[in-house]
A = this chain, B = another copy of it.
Amino acid sequence: MAAECLAMRSRLIGRTVTGIYDDALRPVGVTAGQLNILAVVVRRGPISPGEVARRLNIEKSTMSRTVERMKRNAWLEISPGESARSQELRITKAGRRVLEEAEPMWREAQRRAREILGSSGVEAIHQLAAAIRERTAWAQ
Chain B residues within 8 Å of A5, by CB:
21, 32, 35-36, 106, 110
Instruction: Please measure, in the bound complex, the distance between the C-alpha atom of A116 and the C-alpha atom of B135, giving whole angstroms.
Output: 9
- Do B113 and A131 have beta carbons less than 8 Å apart? no
Instruction: Please measure, in the bound complex, the distance between the C-alpha atom of A4 and the C-alpha atom of B21, giving whole angstroms.
Output: 13
Chain B residues within 8 Å of A103, by CB:
1
**Residue of B with least CB distance to A43:** B2
A1-42: contact bitstring with B at CB < 8 Å (1 yes, 0 no)? Answer: 110111111111111111011100000000011011001100
Q: How many copies does the complex hold?
A: 2
Let me know if A137 is at the binding interface, CB within 8 A: no
Let me know if A74 is at the binding interface, CB within 8 A: no
Instruction: Please measure, in the bound complex, the distance between the C-alpha atom of A40 and the C-alpha atom of B1, giving whole angstroms.
Output: 9
Let me know if A94 is at the binding interface, CB within 8 A: no
Other CB < 8 Å A-B pairs besides A7-B18, A8-B129, A12-B129, 18 of them? A1-B106, A2-B40, A2-B56, A5-B110, A6-B114, A7-B14, A7-B113, A8-B32, A9-B129, A10-B14, A12-B133, A13-B14, A14-B15, A116-B132, A120-B124, A120-B127, A121-B127, A124-B125
Residues of A within 8 A of B (CB): 1-2, 4-18, 20-22, 32-33, 35-36, 39-40, 43, 55-57, 103, 106, 109-110, 113-114, 116-118, 120-122, 124-129, 131-133, 135
